[in-house]
Structure 1
Amino acid sequence: MEALPQLAERLGREGEAGRFMGAVLVARGDEILFRQAYGVADVATGAPLTVSSRFRLASISKQFTAAAILKLQDDGKLSIGDPVCRWIQPCPEAWAPLKIHHLISHTSGIPDLMARPAWGLRRVTPATLHELTEDSKLYRLSFVPGDKVRYNNAGFNLAADIVEKASGMPFGAYLQTALFQPLGMADTGLEEAADHGIVTGHANFPAGLTAQRDPNVSIVAGAGALYSTLDDMLVWQRALHGGRVLSPYSYAQMIMDHSPADQPNERGGRPHRDWGYGLMANRLGQRVTPGFQDYEIYHTGSWSGFRNLATWQPEARVAVIVLSNNYHQQPQVLLISQQAMAEALGHAFPTGLDRN
């Protein structure tokens, strides 16, 4: 008997009609409730997606960079309270108040990549972590560190540079050694020059479904350059939230809210989200109808033809992972994730998004 019949019926219909392409996994406790893939891995070949397909994680990658920093903290190599200027030399005078904490909580005040002049050129030009660090040094802080929260990729690139300096290893190699290999995550890694067998990203254009073949993830090395699969992401969710990656102290720091006390509410008057280290938390079920109130720890991802959402409900230990290789499926990805979460928790099955 199908464990999530309503989700299975809807996804079968949406996939058959071409309205959803991607892979979905739902687990509760130690049980996998749902695991399916829909659509094509590459529109040019028509090859189908499978449950083992490798997807670009985009900004879901941020939690791995944060976990690497916290793992180094647990090993006594650094502290999130360290001044950034301890690790980045020469260091701009304006960065004197900056702590590693600010980089991984979106509170640094460093202007983000997309907010800088010539972003269009930077977007398509490969870069090393050192070059990205040097780029960030060119700009004044847009606010006093810690005074505001503003979504920021540049901070995570700087954090990845610090991981290299503190570990004495290339960023990707440290992630493999400290995180992925111990957990058996053989299908997860930093996308570099090699062919990693990642599916193609797509976008919906007037001419139809169009492949996006120039991801240039080098410019988001610490913020969005990892790839993974449904199964590896489930391993990660269970290990991270089950206490097998970080010390209790570092994990508590990772999921607590680091946004200022005067952070405004979300659109529609909903309570503001918690800004953790590479993770966020909120009651995402308030964004669908009929809604539900369960607390979820999550992160989204969007880059070069991909839209993703990975959520974790801690009390029931429900993991929902939705990976799509179509950039324009953001509403679908959100709705599917919350339909899956609702049905796994025994709530009424949502029929649409709450647009308030």
Structure 2
Amino acid sequence: MFIVPKTAGGRPWILGSLVAAGLISAGAGAWFLKAVAPETQAAAVYQIGLPKRPPVEVVEALPQLKERLDHLDATKQFTGAVLVAKGDQVLFRQVYGKANYEQDTPFALDTRFRLASVSKQFTAVAVLKLQDEGKLSVDDPVCKWIEPCPAAWVPLRIHHLLSHTSGIPDLMAQAEWGRIRVTRRTPQELTETSARYGLQFEPGTKVRYNNAAFNLAAEIVAKASGMAFEHYLEQSILRPLGMKDTSPDVNDDAQGLAMGYGLFPAGLTPQPIANVSIVAGAGALYSTLDDMLAWNRGLHQGHVLSQKAYADLIADHAPDDMPERRGPHRAYGYGLYVSALGERTSSPFSDRQIYHTGSWAGFRNLVSYQPDQQVTVVVLSNNYHLRDLVLLINQQAMAEALGRPVPAALAR
């Protein structure tokens, strides 16, 4: 059953269904909402239908994945955490290496990792949730929410921000990025900086991966919700899903985080502590293996968005005339990709997957979901330079969970 916490009119869907079914009276439903504090109403409604979280313990029920990860661990080729689940069953949960090599701190199963760009889907979902609540539309002009708004942004819609089709230049490609990246910035300051650059192309005509657009989307979430972006995420999405170990690290003071590293000729080298303020909507969250499992189950099994909003989330929003920008079978959704990711391996398999990568500040991540068999694979690494290995581990895990031939390498 696809559970939508509230209808567009604001009435909790589950309560309406219970009333319609005669399981409770309309008066009882009203009493239920009145009796629950406003800030916990959403959580109470979500929890009625949320799947129970599994116990956090080591599970190694995928023998081929275990063999390969044990080898990678013994040869010090991989450091990080891996979880695989199918439906309600966790098939694999294990950690390798250390959370902090200088302090000799081992990983725990609930160690927190910076998600980097895996965070973008949370920003997109926040926007769509506000649309479900009737507080904005993805078709709204950006200038409806951002003031003052540069004239160049007049044709820009929220939809363009979420689909990498905005035309806003990415700040990371600008000459002043070296100064921006080490200086704390407010969302308003980031917006003002982006506004100075105008647009590189007409919105909706090209695809260009863009972090600045997601920062702008986070600012719109704050304006539409009437609260700070991170507070809206906490109250309306993370807390109701029980994601207690996930949050935007807006003050750079999160506890229990792994240290991020890069692999250089001198060896594994700790990376500077991230200035998260500059990626507020693009890469600010930290999370754990099991919180990301809760996220995938909640999001993709209908506990967060309406059916229409979810369909928009995973639709292909790339311009029709630009297949070369997305590759075969790859769709650009809102903060998510949809493709046959397994086709990039030496033993290709064509199952559709919904996923996003994340790489920043010494971290390299890939979180994927196969909707037909409800398979979640979470690979979180605190070594930035493991791009190919993280992809391979993720797809080896996905293949074994799906019963496909397990690839030994990526396709070349």
Shorter-chain TM band: over 0.9
In structure 2, give the amino acid aligned to 1:70: L
In structure 2, give the amino acid aligned to 1:222: G
Match of 1:291 in 2: 348
2:155 to 81, 85, 97: 97
Match of 1:116 in 2: 174
**Offset, 1:16:** 1.7
2:84 is paired with a residue of what secondary structure? Answer: strand
For the residues of structure 2 that align with 1:266 and 1:97, how far apart are their CA atoms?
23
1:76 is paired with a residue of what secondary structure? Answer: coil
Match of 1:263 in 2: 322
* 1:137-187 per-position Cα deviation (integer Å, ceiling 9, x unaligned): 100211100001110000000000001111111111110000011111100
Distance 1:52 1:100, change over 3 A: same
**Offset, 1:205:** 1.3
1:314 to 346, 367, 371: 371
Match of 1:350 in 2: 407
- 1:132-211 residue pairs with structure 2 within 5 A? 132-193=190-251, 194-211=253-270
Match of 1:24 in 2: 82
In structure 2, give the amino acid aligned to 1:305: G
Distance 1:233 1:61, change over 3 A: same
**Offset, 1:272:** 4.8
2:268 is paired with a residue of what secondary structure? Answer: strand
**Offset, 1:197:** 2.0
Q: Is the 8 A contact 2:139 2:158 kept in 1?
A: yes
Match of 1:253 in 2: 312
**Offset, 1:198:** 1.1
Match of 1:219 in 2: 278
1:82 to 120, 140, 147: 140
For the residues of structure 1 that align with 2:149 and 2:339, how far apart are their CA atoms?
36
Q: Is the 8 A contact 2:150 2:198 kept in 1?
A: no
Match of 2:23 in 1: none
Q: Is the 8 A contact 1:191 1:226 kept in 2?
A: yes
1:224 is paired with a residue of what secondary structure? Answer: coil
**Offset, 1:195:** 3.1
Q: Is the 8 A contact 2:60 2:93 kept in 1?
A: no
In structure 1, give the amino acid aligned to 2:334: Y
Match of 2:294 in 1: 235
Moved more, 207-216 or 34-43: 207-216
In structure 1, give the amino acid aligned to 2:286: Y
Unmatched tracts of structure 2, length 5 or more: 1-58
Match of 2:26 in 1: none
Over the matched positions of the two proteins, sequence identity in percent amounts to 61
In structure 1, give the amino acid aligned to 2:73: G
2:96 to 38, 44, 66: 38
1:85 is paired with a residue of what secondary structure? Answer: helix
Moved more, 1-10 or 238-247: 1-10
Q: Is the 8 A contact 1:263 1:272 kept in 2?
A: no
**Offset, 1:219:** 0.5
2:378 is paired with a residue of what secondary structure? Answer: strand
Q: Is the 8 A contact 2:164 2:209 kept in 1?
A: yes
Structure possessing the higher radius of gyration over alpha carbons: 2
1:41 is paired with a residue of what secondary structure? Answer: strand
* 1:5-52 per-position Cα deviation (integer Å, ceiling 9, x unaligned): 000010011012110000000000111000000001112012111211
For the residues of structure 2 that align with 1:58 and 1:354, how far apart are their CA atoms?
25
* 1:53-99 per-position Cα deviation (integer Å, ceiling 9, x unaligned): 00000000000000000010000110000000000011111111000
2:338 to 281, 284, 288: 281
Moved more, 122-131 or 243-252: 122-131
Unmatched tracts of structure 1, length 5 or more: none
For the residues of structure 1 that align with 2:114 and 2:261, how far apart are their CA atoms?
12
Match of 2:5 in 1: none
In structure 1, give the amino acid aligned to 2:278: I
Q: Is the 8 A contact 2:207 2:325 kept in 1?
A: no
In structure 2, give the amino acid aligned to 1:304: A
**Offset, 1:2:** 4.7
1:136 is paired with a residue of what secondary structure? Answer: helix
1:192 is paired with a residue of what secondary structure? Answer: coil
Q: Is the 8 A contact 1:43 1:210 kept in 2?
A: no
2:282 is paired with a residue of what secondary structure? Answer: helix
**Offset, 1:329:** 0.7
Moved more, 279-288 or 115-124: 115-124
For the residues of structure 1 that align with 2:125 and 2:169, how far apart are their CA atoms?
23
2:390 is paired with a residue of what secondary structure? Answer: helix
For the residues of structure 1 that align with 2:60 and 2:227, how far apart are their CA atoms?
46
In structure 1, give the amino acid aligned to 2:331: D
**Offset, 1:291:** 1.1
* 1:259-314 per-position Cα deviation (integer Å, ceiling 9, x unaligned): 000113369xx515100001001111111111111110000000010000000000
1:328 is paired with a residue of what secondary structure? Answer: coil
For the residues of structure 2 that align with 1:226 and 1:326, how far apart are their CA atoms?
17
**Offset, 1:125:** 1.5
For the residues of structure 1 that align with 2:229 and 2:112, how far apart are their CA atoms?
20
**Offset, 1:196:** 2.7
Query: Is 1:323 equivalent to 2:380 in the alignment?
Result: yes
Q: Is the 8 A contact 1:200 1:213 kept in 2?
A: no
Moved more, 209-218 or 302-311: 209-218
How many equivalent pairs are there?
353
In structure 1, give the amino acid aligned to 2:273: D
For the residues of structure 1 that align with 2:169 and 2:374, how far apart are their CA atoms?
36
Match of 2:3 in 1: none
